[in-house]
Amino acid sequence: MPSRLLTLATAVSGAAAAFQGFNYGSTFTDGRPKSQTDFENEFKTAAGLEGTNGGFTSARLYTMVQGGTGSDPISAIPAAIKTKTSLLLGLWASAGQASFNNELSALKKTIDSYCGQLDGLVAGISVGSEDLYRISPIGQAASPDPGASPTQLVNYIKEVRNTLKGSCLEKTPIGHVDTWTAYVNETNKPVIDAIDFIGMDAYPYYENTKPNGLENAVKLFQAAIDNTKSTSGGKPIWITETGWPTSGPKDGSAVPGLDAAQTFWREVGCPMFGVTNVWWFTFQDGAPTVPSPAFGVIGSTLTTKPLYDLSCDGYKNKPSTSQPVSSKTSAQSQDPPATSQTQKPTTSVPVVSQPTTQSTTQETEAPGNTTQGQSTAAPVTTLSTGTGGGGVVSTINGGTTFIPPGTSTGTGSQPTVPPNAGSKLNAFAGVAAGVVMAVAAL
């Protein structure tokens, strides 16, 4: 099975070499914004992880804005320049236009301040993270952020392209990150049409409406890639989040643990590393406190000694190394297509109904049992997700949601970005069987 993943990874990558790294949050779990020194220490530690041969030298970010400021660039950028860490930059898009304007301002300031130092260090720019999930009706009930509709995201992408014109980042690939289930929802196709790469988040651990034990993890991950690829229009697929928890609650048949996390790393990660762009979830998802479930390859203290063996000996065919391909794709020379929006959000936390004539994928991050996968093409299934540690449970639009520790829930212009993820409790299990079968048949 690992060789099958390797073959597919090569097919969806579209690059001779690849970026390889982890996801990094902007704050600690107690809410403190990370400083440049904090990011430098994290990046250096990740690059020195035992068993990885110094291969994890890229970082995916969720926001351009430094915590505690209006629109100053995140301190991860000068930290990356100093440590020669490549970046998948991210603009938070689930907090409305005022917040996104701050993201654009931080992007402009980044260009003005650092353009001469970023050569070869920017893998791409992601406009948003799981916003299409949040805009679904169940996502609306489960998330403290309003999400963003396809129309909003396309407009945001246009704004980013305009911001980059004439700068050192003009040719940087622009994409979007979302749950793989969002990409198979045809309502969201305008976003795929507008981007250069597809950032896919997929967690077999959470697919609890299926047999999701570790023995089926490779198969479920493979299905996520296959289904995403079927709707990608030939655009490259980057793996922006995946992983298996080292601790936490059982979810369906999936059981967290160090041995399980190591097996997932070897059988899912190793065949892709160096072949396609991968940002693993995650380097350190809890400091000073560790959440539940916990996905970090290290614990709450920075150390180059991982919680489990990260070597890939015998689990991949080592590809030849070369510089990552960062050339402009054909999609970048075209303006994103215009798209209509069925129901335009009118409030800061809108309730958006999907058209009843389309098969829609709906997900939730809410703890407990939640209606899942409502679609005119398939029966409703149910989803159960675990909660993280150290956060609070809040009622949003009549539903409940777990708010990660350190997350702002204000309604101002500051982005409400979770400390170490866009949303860890992704509901990948809820794609109804009829929708998956229909997409797989394309």
- The CA distance from 115 to 378, in Å, is 49
The dihedral through the CA atoms of 309, 210, 220, 218 has a sign that is positive
- The CA distance from 232 to 241, in Å, is 17
Q: Which residue has the higher pLDDT, 156 or 327?
A: 156
* Class of residue 216 by CB neighbours under 10 A (exposed 0-12, middle 13-18, buried 19+): middle
- pLDDT grade, residue 439 (50/70/90)? very low
Q: Which residue has the higher pLDDT, 349 or 67?
A: 67
- Judge whether residue 348 has pLDDT over 70: no
- 56 secondary structure, DSSP code: -
User: Per the structure block, which two tokens stand in for 282?
Assistant: 């995650």
* Class of residue 168 by CB neighbours under 10 A (exposed 0-12, middle 13-18, buried 19+): middle
CATH topology of domain 20-280: TIM Barrel (3.20.20)
- Average pLDDT of the chain is 75
- pLDDT grade, residue 317 (50/70/90)? low
Residue 373 to residues 137, 176, 277, 427, 428, Cα–Cα distance (Å)? 11, 22, 29, 10, 10
Average pLDDT over every residue of 215-226:
98
State pTM to two decimals: 0.75
Q: Are 373 and 380 in contact (CB under 8 A)?
A: yes
**Residue 4's pLDDT is what?**
53
| DSSP 3-state of 329 | coil
- pLDDT grade, residue 135 (50/70/90)? confident
Highest mean pLDDT (candidates 178-182, 308-312, 314-318, 347-351) = 308-312
Rounded to 5°, the CA angle 356-130-161 comes to 105
Question: For 186-195, 267-276, 428-437, which range has the lowest pLDDT when averaged over its residues?
Answer: 428-437
Q: Where are the domains of the chain?
A: 20-280
| DSSP 3-state of 370 | strand
Rounded to 5°, the CA angle 188-193-197 comes to 100
**Residue 17's pLDDT is what?**
76
- The CA distance from 400 to 225, in Å, is 30
- The CA distance from 138 to 360, in Å, is 11
* Class of residue 344 by CB neighbours under 10 A (exposed 0-12, middle 13-18, buried 19+): exposed
Q: What is the pLDDT of residues 86-108, one digit of tens each?
A: 999 999 999 999 999 999 999 99
The residue whose two tokens read 């996968």 is 373
Annotated catalytic residues are 130, 241
